[in-house]
């Protein structure tokens, strides 16, 4: 069955025209400004391979079938995921990484690049409707090997052109904390600090949850085993780590994340999908480093010796090819801070606090979703009468991904596409494409069973 959509608009924006052109849809040149979106040619794979039924969506990716929906076995407040390998049969509950979305009664799904499934949750708040379930990304492949189990990873979609996170490394006492504090003080709405976990004791004036999450080794080790950490390392005799959540809360606040982590951590993040800018801060001399460390007065003599010893190794490792993008020498603090701002393109910047935010979508229960290339068209409305709300979601500039958020979703509303001129959609509210119905499932206690 092919469905037809009729759009009416006097002035289509370039974006919508592009979208139409990509789909090779017909644009009427006659008196009545209208164009008809008919069935799409076969050379545009529609990306749909699912059946959304009630609370569940079934998606086929390669040899595997993913059942997404209902609630999680362990936590009733998050969406559940089951996987079946067509070659072996049977259903397994995978290891699920990342912060999980809350359940939704209406889920649409689109496969992207065969390695992730884009999920749209109807009836969800604007900041909670776009999610990615990674099923075969490099991160998932690595974790699958590590855990020896089936693994999937959730990553929330963030609308807008979020800038890359910043990783700052350098030996103890070089001035990382001082530089980061200055940046956060001057640009409080731009930057957010990734609050690490550590097993070291708090220093005077350090607050739990602000400077670090101070924790017990056994607790942190268990959380690492549960896959809650983006990276972790043993540094100066203590365990330090960046939880996935620490990075996500910064992204959720619409801020650019700064991570203060050691060289081992930087290497792990480099190997992850975080796509950060890596900066190493060097001391002007070893003597000056020792002087600063002593003057800070936060470590015992034994701890100072250990840190100085480790500094030599860190300075050596930092030289390794391709690890750091920038090296900064922190001799004079003001000069170094100015260089940091310059490399982050902030030297002329005055923080704009109320920057206009990208349009948000209130995705209703009734919506239909179509995919052409990397663009998704969402039309909202009932079967009988689609409403005038159309959203075009451009996924061609995605950045990041699990662990953490998937950034760079571009969204155009019908308003932004047509400069406020009415866009009417007529039709039966079905998808533009034929949607392949696989099978309908319902979840029973023992796992999903096929409905007759
Ligand atoms: N890998 C990793 N290193 C971290 C993390 N948090 C802090 N560190 C590093 O651990 C080292 C010790 O940090 P800290 O005890 O605060 O001492 P400081 O470097 O003297 O300020 C520094 O090199 C930090 O960059 C983390 O989450 N992961
Ligand atoms: N450029 C600088 N010149 C002199 N002292 C500095 C400079 N940068 C930082 N400091 C001081 O050196 C000490 C260590 O700095 P800190 O930011 O705590 O280092 P880190 O976070 O790298 O361990 C602090 O007392 C800080 O005030």
- Per residue in 305-321, pLDDT (tens digit) is 999 999 999 999 998 88
pLDDT in the model for residue 356:
52
pLDDT value for 413: 73
Question: Which SS3 state, helix, strand or coil, does residue 274 take?
Answer: coil
Q: Is the residue at 349 inside a domain?
A: no
Which ligand is closest to the CA of 292, given by its number?
A: 2
247 alpha carbon, closest ligand: 1
The answer to whether residue 352 sits within a structural domain is no
Query: 170 or 374: whose pLDDT is higher?
Result: 170
The pair phi, psi for residue 219, each rounded to 5°, is -70, -45
Mark whether 292 and 392 lie in a shared domain: no
Asked if residue 348 is part of any domain, the answer here is: no
Q: Which domain holds residue 129?
A: 3-160+358-450
Q: Which residues contact 406 (CB under 8 A, 6 or more apart)?
A: 132, 155, 156, 157, 158, 398, 399, 400
Same domain, 403 and 362: yes
Q: Looking at 4-13, 171-180, 294-303, which range is the least confident one?
A: 4-13
Let me know whether 319 and 217 are in one domain.
yes
Residue 399's pLDDT is 83
Average pLDDT over residues 176-183: 97
Mutate to test the pocket of ligand 1, among 174, 180, 195, 196 (most ligand atoms within 8 A of CB): 196
What pLDDT, in 10s, does the model give residues 397-427? 888 888 788 888 888 876 555 433 223 233 3
Domain-embedded: residue 181: yes
297 lines ligand 2 (CB under 6 A): no
Q: Are residues 210 and 259 in the same domain?
A: yes
The residue from 289, 319, 343 where one domain ends is 343
Q: How confident is the model at residue 74 (pLDDT cuts 50, 70, 90)?
A: low
Q: CB neighbours (10 Å) of residue 360? A: 13
For ligand 1, the distance from its centroid to the CA atom of residue 262, given in whole angstroms, is 6
Ligand 1 pocket by Cβ (under 6 Å): 169, 172-173, 177, 196, 200, 231, 233, 235-236, 240-242, 260-262, 264-265
Query: 446 and 419 in one domain?
Result: yes
Give domain status of residue 351, yes or no.
Answer: no
- CA dist., res. 207 & res. 298, Å (int): 15
Give me the number of domains the chain comprises.
2
What's the 258 CA to ligand 2 centre distance in angstroms?
17
Active site residue 296: yes
pLDDT given for residue 191 in this prediction: 95
Predicted confidence (pLDDT) at residue 206 exceeds the cutoff of 90: yes
Q: Which residue, judged by its Cα, is nearest atom 28 of ligand 1?
A: 241
- The answer to whether the bond into 161 is cis (omega within 30° of 0) is no
pTM of structure: 0.70
Residues 173 and 227 in one domain: yes
Same domain flag for 319 and 367: no
Same domain assignment for residues 249 and 336: yes
Under the banding of pLDDT at 50, 70 and 90, the label for residue 69 is confident
Of 200, 292, 294, 296, the catalytic one is 296
Is the model's pLDDT at 325 over the cut of 50? yes
- Say whether both 139 and 229 belong to one domain: no
Are 45 and 67 found together in one domain? yes
Q: Give me the mean pLDDT over the 139-164 stretch.
A: 88
Domain stop point among 286, 309, 343: 343
Pair (399, 325) in one structural domain: no
Q: Which pLDDT does position 358 carry in this prediction?
A: 56
CA distance 48 to 182: 48
Q: Which ligand is nearest to the CA of 239?
A: 1
For 117-154, letters b (16+ CB in 10 Å) and e give bbbbbbebeeebbbbbbbbbbebbeebbeeeeebbbbb
pLDDT value at residue 46: 31
* Residue 304 domain-assigned (yes or no): yes
> Is the ipTM reported for this complex over the cut 0.95?
yes
**CATH value at residue 273:** 3.40.50.300
Residue 204 within any structural domain of the chain: yes
Share of the chain above pLDDT 90, in %: 45
Select the more confidently predicted residue: 133 or 436.
133
Span of 227-236, 271-280, 417-426 with lowest mean pLDDT: 417-426
Does residue 314 lie within any of the structural domains? yes
- Residue identifier of the C-alpha nearest atom 4 of ligand 1: 261
CA of 332 to the centre of ligand 2 (A): 10
d(CA 178, ligand 1 centre) in Å = 13
Please confirm, yes or no, whether 200 is among the known catalytic residues: no
- DSSP-assigned letters across all residues of 353-412: TTPPPPP-----SSEEEEEETTEEEEEEE-SSSEEEEEEEEE-TT-EE-SSS-EEEEEEE
Q: Which of 316, 343, 370 is the last residue in one of the domains? A: 343
Give distance in angstroms: CA of 211 to centre of ligand 2. Answer: 16
193 and 315 within one domain: yes
Of 100, 307, 405, 407, which is the active-site residue?
Answer: 307
Higher pLDDT pick, 434 / 126: 126
DSSP H or E segment with residue 295: helix 286-296
Q: Is the pLDDT of residue 115 over 90?
A: yes
């Amino acid at each position: 069955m092919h469905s037809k959509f009729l759009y009416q608009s006097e002035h289509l924006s370039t974006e919508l025209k592009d979208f139409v052109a990509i789909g090779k849809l017909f644009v009427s040149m006659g008196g009545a400004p209208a164009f008809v979106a008919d069935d799409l040619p076969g050379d545009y794979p529609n990306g749909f391979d699912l059946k959304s039924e009630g609370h569940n969506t079934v998606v086929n990716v390669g040899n595997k079938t993913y059942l997404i929906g209902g609630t999680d076995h362990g936590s009733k407040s998050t969406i559940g995921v089951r996987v079946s390998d067509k070659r072996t049969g049977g259903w397994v509950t995978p290891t699920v990484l990342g912060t999980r979305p809350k359940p939704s009664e209406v889920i649409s799904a689109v496969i992207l690049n065969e390695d992730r499934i884009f999920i749209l949750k109807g009836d969800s708040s604007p900041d909670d409707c776009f999610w990615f379930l990674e099923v075969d990304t490099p991160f998932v492949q690595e974790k699958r090997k590590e855990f020896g189990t089936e693994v999937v990873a959730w990553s929330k979609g963030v609308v807008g052109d979020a800038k890359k996170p910043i990783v700052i490394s350098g030996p103890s006492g070089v001035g990382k904390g001082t530089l980061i504090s200055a940046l956060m003080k001057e640009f409080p709405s731009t930057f957010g600090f990734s609050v690490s976990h550590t097993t070291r004791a708090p220093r005077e004036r350090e607050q739990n949850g602000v400077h670090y999450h101070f924790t017990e080794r056994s607790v942190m080790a268990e959380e690492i085993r549960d896959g809650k950490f983006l990276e972790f390392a043993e540094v100066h005799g203590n365990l330090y780590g960046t939880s996935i959540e620490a990075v996500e809360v910064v992204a959720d606040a619409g801020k650019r994340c700064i991570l203060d982590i050691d060289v081992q951590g930087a290497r792990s993040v480099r190997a992850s999908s975080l796509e950060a800018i890596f900066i190493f801060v060097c001391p002007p001399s070893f003597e000056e480093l020792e002087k600063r460390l002593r003057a800070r007065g936060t470590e015992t003599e034994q701890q100072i010796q250990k840190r100085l010893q480790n500094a030599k190794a860190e300075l050596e490792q930092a030289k390794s090819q391709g690890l750091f993008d920038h090296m900064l020498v922190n001799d004079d603090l003001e000069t170094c801070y100015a260089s940091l701002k310059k490399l982050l393109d902030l030297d002329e910047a005055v923080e704009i606090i109320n920057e206009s935010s990208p349009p948000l979508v209130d995705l209703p229960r009734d919506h239909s979703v179509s995919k052409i290339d990397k663009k998704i068209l969402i039309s909202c409305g009932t079967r009988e009468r689609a409403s005038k709300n159309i959203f075009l979601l451009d996924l061609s500039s995605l950045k990041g991904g699990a662990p953490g958020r998937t950034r760079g979703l571009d969204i155009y509303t019908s308003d932004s596409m047509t400069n406020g001129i009415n866009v009417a959609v007529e039709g039966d509210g079905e998808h533009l494409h034929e949607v392949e119905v696989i099978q309908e499932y319902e979840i029973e206690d023992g796992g999903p069973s096929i409905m007759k």
